[in-house]
Amino acid sequence: MAYVPGVALILAIIALALFGMWRGWRARTRRAARVGVTFGPATGEAVATFGGLYVATTAHDDPLDRLPLPHLGFRSKVVVTVTTEGVALDMPAAPTLFLAAARLVGAGRATWTIDRVVERDGLVLIAWTTDDGTIVDTYLRLQSSEPDALVAAVEDLRTTPTGASK
């Protein structure tokens, strides 16, 4: 019986910590609600397809600030399709996120982001603008695909006028 107050105190501290984490995540979700993301089907003709893992979407140039956007808050498998009009991210149990070429800001390689560190330049970073004009970075980890090919395809799409012959 001498342990009951100590055990109760530990359980209360754990419950308080869990409650604080839950409230913090809800507050982040409310703050991120202003960042609009429209989901919809891909348009254009498929140019290249890559398979891998969706890692995170963060604030631009702040790889430790994960944005809890709808369907983009957690890691998942992803199929990335580069079309003549943009880039489509298809994840299981989520609608397609299509990034039109006009919304693409850039693409490159990264070594780390929130909760993920890989070999040098092991991640692909795609920078794009949300519906409200906020620039965000999406990180992908390709499997059995060449990351440089995806970066080149996105950069080519970004610098080539839509509808132009390639």
Domain with 26, as residue range(s), is 1-32
Q: Are 72 and 108 in contact (CB under 8 A)?
A: no
Residue 108's pLDDT band (boundaries 50, 70, 90)? very high
Same domain, 74 and 146: yes
pLDDT of residue 21: 94
Residue-wise pLDDT for 3-17, tens only, equals 888 999 999 999 999
Same domain, 89 and 7: no
- The two tokens of residue 30 are 């409310």
Average pLDDT, the chain: 89
Residue-wise pLDDT for 23-55, tens only, equals 988 887 777 767 778 888 999 999 999 999 999
Residue-wise pLDDT for 133-151, tens only, equals 889 999 999 998 899 999 9
Q: Give domain status of residue 54, yes or no.
A: yes
Same domain, 96 and 135: yes
Q: Give domain status of residue 75, yes or no.
A: yes
Same domain, 50 and 91: yes
pLDDT at 166 over 60: no
Same domain, 27 and 75: no
Same domain, 27 and 66: no
- Any idea what the Cα angle at residue 159 is, between residues 156 and 160, rounded to 5°? 80
Same domain, 26 and 100: no
Q: Give domain status of residue 50, yes or no.
A: yes
Strands 46-59 and 62-66: antiparallel
pLDDT of residue 66: 84
Same domain, 13 and 93: no
pLDDT of residue 79: 96
CATH number at 89 reads 2.30.29.30
pLDDT at 78 over 80: yes
Residue-wise pLDDT for 113-137, tens only, equals 887 788 888 999 999 999 888 899 9
Q: What is the total count of domains within the chain?
A: 2
Q: Give domain status of residue 37, yes or no.
A: no
pLDDT of residue 70: 83
